[in-house]
Structure 1
Amino acid sequence: MKKRSLFAIVPACLLGLAITACGGNETAVSIEKAETKPAEPKKEPFTLTIFTEGVKPEEFDARFRGRLEKKFPHITFQYQMSGTGATINDLVAQKKIPDIMRIDVPGMKAKYLDLGLAYGLDSLVKTSKYDLKRFEPVFIQEMVNAGRTGELYGLPVPPYFPLVLYYNKTLFDQFGVPYPKDGMSWDDIYELAKKMTRTEGGVVYRGFSASVTAMLRDNPYSLPILDPASDQLADPEKWRTLFQNLKRFYDIPNNTMEKNANEEINAFGKGKVAMMGNQHNIYLTIPPEIDWDIVSYPMLEGAPKLMGQRGPAYWAITQQSEHKEEAFQVISEMLADEVQLADSKNGIPTTLVDPEIKKALGQTHPLYSQKNMKTVHTYPPTAPTPKRKAELTDVLGRTQEAIIFEAFQKLTNNEADLNTALRQADERLKQEIALEKSKGK
């Protein structure tokens, strides 16, 4: 039976003028006191500016705006996306510095730290008793490492970008070859690539393509490009292993790499490539006519059995913000369990450790709900790539990535042997270090 309100069954006289006849004045007063709540202090309205690169306003509105406006009705949220005349450098020059920024590790030095915007969150985490153990530890540690001061400068916002292996089901069916499976090694995939690379009816079918930069950068060793402790290429022997593993696929006759990184990534979407090593990336577009699925990223013999991944972006607060406490509350709301669960159901990998949120990946998305999304969590994510010592000159992450891709491309195009390609990468890194040092003079 549904319970009725206490006040709904008390005669009106008991709550009106005749309270003394209904049991005494003391009881009535206690009821009135229980009903009286102190009014919450009125919060002064203000505008909070959130700045990002690459994430369109439509995505921000769909994922966050409604929840934020309901939770913080006194705040007007101004969302600003980087563009011509409105880069973060422009805004700093114009003294229009945002309160919250979406930063990533590769661009963090030039676009946050070097501009004097950095604000450590440690004190806000402590005073608000915010639980950092909600997050995958590798994402928290990566941000601490990237700042090179021991401070935590941001909290990880989905998505992150785990490596997986895509495959074209139509081609495997066409040639009568069993699909790839979760848990395969690179040797297994190499044998499949050889079987699937062929010429039929004058059409060349490739067995394998790749997002080469992602595969080299997000490697299972957590191997950096620039050595963390000295001005040189990190651990050339491990780079030798990574180059050799990937190059053999492009040595398969007719499995020639495209002329640049973007064309190599887009080759899979043309329907003539059987497999592709790439990130699970919600921004990756594969034409709807391609019947694809994914399996776990292949494991390399002798390397840790970990899932290579490009870490997430981070919500950060600027030193110049006049609303740091409110900004932290807003960030906390955008990273709430309910928000991340909704994200996960839409195919956006969570930055949390919660197994139920992980399990929900892609469940309500019209495309991902039909795919093998559980494979994303087959292996734990790799540890953060070691960062440069604070006293050493660093080089932008994207510059390092370009250098290592260029070295691999020269090797693949037979423009350099393995030793030469790695030596040239080492020399290019040293040139970039010298250039960075000259900027500080």
Structure 2
Amino acid sequence: MVSKWGKSFRTLVVLLALTAIAAACGGGPKPGADAPPAGDKAAKASLTDNANDPVELTVYYMFAGSSYDAFMQGYGNFIKQKYPNYTFKFISTGKGSTLEDMVTSNTDIDIFISTTSTLTSVVDKKLDYDITELVDKYGYDLNRFESTPLDLLRKASNGKLLGLPFRVNTLGLYYNKDLFDKFGVPYLRDGMTWDEVYEAAGQLTRQDGGVQYYGFAARPVANLFKLNPYSQAMVDPKTHQAALDNDRWKSIFNNFLRFYQLPGYDKELTTTVKAFDLFTKEKRVAILSQQNSDYLSLKDAQGLNWDVVTYPTYKDLPGVNPQPEPVYFLISANSKHKDEAFKAISVILSDEVQLEKSKQGAPSPLKSKAIRDAYGTASTDMAGKNTKALVPSSYAEALVVDPYVNQAVTPLQNAFTSVVAGEKDLNTALREANELTNKGIQSLAGK
């Protein structure tokens, strides 16, 4: 999970850096650019107040692989345009800078950048802070946000609002148009079911001229399970026990196993790197499931003629999309600058910045149709693409985040790989994954 989010953060940095360049080339603020949206005048007036005293905000990124410069390009420069008296100290987790190290050294943190997977660490260290009082103080309008990411955060924190989402990732379906043309298969279309995608994948999985082509792959396979539209839990949030050995998980597995059991597949196709290389470099995978925001990773794929469609649905769940995977700004309980931190966050979540981010292909947490419709429109990488397909109109109910859920991810993916390889049958693989997950939970709970 950490490596994936490290990649996602770097993708986000690129997107926001492009936005900053676009803003700089615009010749300064436009007339009316700071005008408050209707119904939010009181909040905007309050958030605009600035004492002009120097303020340093410490931002802690809950994953490895980032830097101060990356943060400033991605966030800090936007904030400084509105609050020039703000400066930033940026810390990314790593050797000597883990959250435990921060607590031991009594380092005050103002803002966390976190997903729900790392939220439990913040709560365990008693660094969580309910921002409801700041929302009330500034009259901040939460109705601007899609409800699911906010509900997910509240579920994960016993009803508290520990922060605000600034980006909402989910799954997207990408395909190589040239392979469809090569084998005379109709292009994918919006609104397809998995059964229909499987039919297309079957026609595209073949040998041609001594070269093996594959209809479908996922990057990573684990996301097919974590973000499943049934909202099927891997760990029971009430008992904190593994919940993998049941008919629903067998059904979810079978939906994807059939792709990987087409002639010519082997377990190597279940690895993230191999799946990506086969799609982007070797161009032997026709359809790829990956995060909607990962389109930017395709920009260096020379000669890849790709497009996207809405994510497939299950026949018994018509219209139900995958779960969201939001990224949040959290305010720390030990922050001495909670108001300033909230104001900084409000800049990134302003309609103006969110619109620019959406144009560059960053999925926004806001409801605004104008922001959603602008998705990808300013990105040369998205020119001519079916960009709106990457921003679902709604999300499946997000799972309550169990503090032990990460103990299930690797056993579940390994179970899938073992069935693909023919090493285990489905029942055995899921039963053993369940047992391994419970052992991991017991070990973690005993620390």
Report how far residue 104 of structure 1 moved.
0.8
**Which residue number corresponds to residue 265 of structure 2?**
255
Per-residue CA distance 1:334-379 (angstroms, 9 max, x = gap): 2111111010000011110111100000000110133111112354
> Contact 1:209 / 1:257 at 8 angstroms: preserved in 2?
no
Say which of 285, 294, 300 aligns to 1:273: 285
Per-residue CA distance 1:254-279 (angstroms, 9 max, x = gap): 13341652234323122111111222
> Contact 1:47 / 1:78 at 8 angstroms: preserved in 2?
yes
Task: Trace 1:45-56 onto structure 2 (pairs within 5 A).
Answer: 45-52=54-61, 53=63, 54-56=65-67
2:439 is aligned with what amino acid? Q
* Separation in 2, partners of 1:348, 1:124: 26
Q: Is the counterpart of residue 416 in structure 1 residue 427 in structure 2?
A: no
**Which residue number corresponds to residue 104 of structure 1?**
115
Report how far residue 218 of structure 1 moved.
0.7
Report how far residue 102 of structure 1 moved.
0.3
**Which residue number corresponds to residue 69 of structure 1?**
80
Distance 1:82 1:415, change over 3 A: same
Q: Is the counterpart of residue 226 in structure 1 residue 238 in structure 2?
A: no
* Separation in 1, partners of 2:295, 2:256: 24
> Contact 2:115 / 2:328 at 8 angstroms: preserved in 1?
yes
* Separation in 2, partners of 1:58, 1:41: 25
List 4+ stretches of structure 1 deviating above 6 A. none
TM-score, structure 2 normalization: 0.83
Report how far residue 225 of structure 1 moved.
0.6
Q: Is the counterpart of residue 161 in structure 1 residue 169 in structure 2?
A: yes
**Which residue number corresponds to residue 250 of structure 2?**
240
> Contact 2:229 / 2:320 at 8 angstroms: preserved in 1?
yes
Q: Secondary structure at the match of 1:44?
A: coil
Q: Secondary structure at the match of 2:212?
A: strand
Say which of 374, 381, 384 aligns to 1:370: 384
* Separation in 2, partners of 1:167, 1:283: 11
**Which residue number corresponds to residue 134 of structure 2?**
124
Distance 1:312 1:298, change over 3 A: same
Report how far residue 387 of structure 1 moved.
3.8
Say which of 415, 421, 436 aligns to 1:428: 436
228-237 or 184-193: bigger deviation: 228-237
Say which of 57, 80, 89 aligns to 2:100: 89
Q: Which blocks of at least 5 consecutive residues in structure 1 are unaligned? A: 1-39, 389-393
Distance 1:435 1:245, change over 3 A: same
* Separation in 1, partners of 2:50, 2:133: 25
Report how far residue 146 of structure 1 moved.
1.3
Q: Which has the larger radius of gyration?
A: 1
Q: Which blocks of at least 5 consecutive residues in structure 2 are unaligned? A: 1-48
- Provide the identity percentage: 35
* Separation in 2, partners of 1:347, 1:284: 8
Q: Secondary structure at the match of 1:375?
A: helix
User: Pairwise CA RMSD of aligned residues?
Assistant: 2.0
* Separation in 2, partners of 1:246, 1:421: 15
Report how far residue 310 of structure 1 moved.
3.9
* Separation in 2, partners of 1:42, 1:177: 63
Q: Is the counterpart of residue 136 in structure 1 residue 141 in structure 2?
A: no
**Which residue number corresponds to residue 353 of structure 2?**
339
**Which residue number corresponds to residue 152 of structure 1?**
161
Q: Is the counterpart of residue 181 in structure 1 residue 192 in structure 2?
A: no
Distance 1:42 1:427, change over 3 A: closer
Q: Secondary structure at the match of 1:207?
A: strand
* Separation in 2, partners of 1:221, 1:403: 20
342-351 or 115-124: bigger deviation: 115-124
* Separation in 2, partners of 1:300, 1:261: 24
TM-score, structure 1 normalization: 0.84
Per-residue CA distance 1:10-53 (angstroms, 9 max, x = gap): xxxxxxxxxxxxxxxxxxxxxxxxxxxxxx99543231111213
How many residue pairs are counted as aligned between the two chains?
Answer: 391
1:429 is aligned with what amino acid? T
Report how far residue 283 of structure 1 moved.
7.0
* Separation in 2, partners of 1:165, 1:76: 40
Say which of 318, 322, 337 aligns to 2:336: 322
Q: Secondary structure at the match of 2:446?
A: helix
* Separation in 2, partners of 1:428, 1:361: 41
Q: Is the counterpart of residue 213 in structure 1 residue 246 in structure 2?
A: no
**Which residue number corresponds to residue 297 of structure 2?**
285
168-177 or 86-95: bigger deviation: 86-95
Distance 1:263 1:46, change over 3 A: closer
1:217 is aligned with what amino acid? K
